[in-house]
Structure 1
Amino acid sequence: MPIGPITMLAIYLVCWWTVLFAVLPLGTSKERHEPPTDGAQWGAPEKPDLKRKFITTTWVSFLVWLLVMALVFIGWMPLPDLAPPV
């Protein structure tokens, strides 16, 4: 195994946050014709639907993580060896 489980988890978390910022704007519209009266911002979506976006982020980032792990294991994307020489 070329990398350990902590490194795999770290790569998954990086994938998850990257995919989250790609998924957040999906399904939102800025069409608001009247000024917000409840203290909300003009650009804030009326229904953010964050639970669905977090679930979508989780499975899409899992697929991205699998692709990255496949590339690491077949050697197309080698990770540097950061251990000091013995």
Structure 2
Amino acid sequence: MAYQISTSLAIYFVLWWVVLFLTLPFGVRSQQEEGVGAPGTDPGAPVLARMGRKLLWTTLLSAVIFAIGMWAYYAGYLSIERLSKLMGMPF
């Protein structure tokens, strides 16, 4: 049982990071686009990153994707036999 929990947490952790990198560019406006910026800063630097909102969205999206994946696994759609058959590899 502990092995399954630790494996699930590892899968969720990796999925969370992938979703974080997918959500980072959404809603970001650069200093150049806004027409503001401090002297000596990169014009491509974000004006307002809103990281709290992005972390919340990342957690919610990761939980939904993880839940769909777990449902598919327990329903038998993600079994090793089925996936190896779809990829044309002998099991």
Q: TM-score range by the shorter chain?
A: 0.7 to 0.9
Tell me the CA shift for residue 78 of structure 1. Answer: 2.1
> Could you tell me whether the CA contact under 8 Å between 1:23 and 1:53 is conserved in 2?
yes
With over 3 angstroms needed to count, the CA separation of the structure-2 counterparts of 1:19 and 1:34, relative to structure 1, is same
Gaps of 5+ in 1: 81-86
1:1-80 matches, cutoff 5 A: 4-30=4-30, 31-33=33-35, 36-37=38-39, 39-79=40-80
TM (normalized to structure 1)?
Answer: 0.76
> Could you tell me whether the CA contact under 8 Å between 2:29 and 2:48 is conserved in 1?
no
What amino acid is aligned across from residue 65 of structure 1 in structure 2?
F
Tell me the CA shift for residue 15 of structure 1. Answer: 1.2
TM (normalized to structure 2)?
Answer: 0.72
With over 3 angstroms needed to count, the CA separation of the structure-2 counterparts of 1:57 and 1:79, relative to structure 1, is farther
d(CA) in 1 for partners of 2:23 and 2:36?
27
Bigger relative CO (Cα 8 Å, ≥ 6 apart): 1
Tell me the CA shift for residue 52 of structure 1. Answer: 0.8
SS in 2 for 1:16: helix
Q: Identity of aligned pairs, percent?
A: 35
Q: Which residue of 2 aligns with 1:84?
A: none
> Could you tell me whether the CA contact under 8 Å between 2:73 and 2:79 is conserved in 1?
yes
